[in-house]
Amino acid sequence: MKVIEKTGRTIEEAVSQALQNMGVSRDDVEVEVLEEPTKGILGLFGAKPARVKVILKERVSKKAVDLLKDIIKSMGLQVELDIVEKENVLNINMKGPDLGILIGRRGETLDALQFLVNLSVNKNQEIRRKIVIDVEGYRNRREETLQKLAVKLANKAKQRGRSVVLEPMSSQERRIIHTALQGRDDIYTFSEGDEPYRKIIITPKK
């Protein structure tokens, strides 16, 4: 953690000097006022400047990237990180050869990795940052696959006149199925079971 102390005629001036030295903005630091400025006698004798301690905040994005790099390094993988920050969402897409091990069966390893990083970097943070981790655009491809599967199984349930039960899925994948079918008036969907075996049931309306 980088810490610097500065003095100035005013608190604002002292903070401004510290920010300039650090090369960061006011939002990136915490400020502790060590001494208030005093004017002294007749504004001349015994005057004291303001003294502040400026502490650089640990950025969530840097913490997330560093943690992910450590995990990847321990696995002996060569990975390039493509990072996009947008408001309170940090998207990290990993690229490189033989990254299937990071995805796992139906994205289970990727989901676990994402959960771990989110849990670690958001600990003790006032504002939580959502971190989405992907591998070579896998999540978009998986979403498209699930959307097509949802339509196919909904049509099957309607044609056969009986419910279709899907295999257990993560809450994120179940949400994709529900969303894909929520506009239909000939079927309805619901989930049943306990995690991690909770599954979706598609039922035709009568």
The domain limits of the chain are 3-56, 60-136, 140-204
Strand partners, 54: 4, 31
| Residues 6 and 15 sit within 8 Å (Cβ to Cβ) | yes
Please tell me the CATH code under which domain 60-136 is placed: 3.30.300.20
Q: What is the pLDDT of residues 60-81, one digit of tens each?
A: 788 888 999 999 989 888 899 9
- Listing DSSP states for 31-94 in one string gives EEEEE--B--BTTTBT-B-EEEEEEE---HHHHHHHHHHHHHHHTT---EEEEEEETTEEEEEE
| Residues 164 and 201 sit within 8 Å (Cβ to Cβ) | yes
Q: What is the pLDDT of residues 35-47, one digit of tens each?
A: 888 876 655 556 7
Residue 13 pLDDT more than 90? Answer: no
Query: What angle is formed at CA 27 by the lines to CA 22 and CA 30, rounded to 5 degrees?
Result: 70
Helix (H, G, I), strand (E, B) or coil at 139: helix
* pLDDT (0 to 100) of residue 150: 96
Q: Which two tokens stand for residue 109?
A: 């390893």
User: 124 or 168: which carries more pLDDT confidence?
Assistant: 168
* pLDDT (0 to 100) of residue 84: 87
Residue 97 pLDDT more than 90? Answer: no
Give the residue-averaged pLDDT of 142-159.
Answer: 95
pLDDT range class, residue 161, cuts 50, 70, 90? very high
Which of these CATH numbers, 3.30.450, 3.40.50, 3.30.30, 3.90.930, describes 3-56? 3.30.30
- Which class is 140-204 in CATH? alpha beta
Residue 82 pLDDT more than 60? Answer: yes
* pLDDT (0 to 100) of residue 191: 94
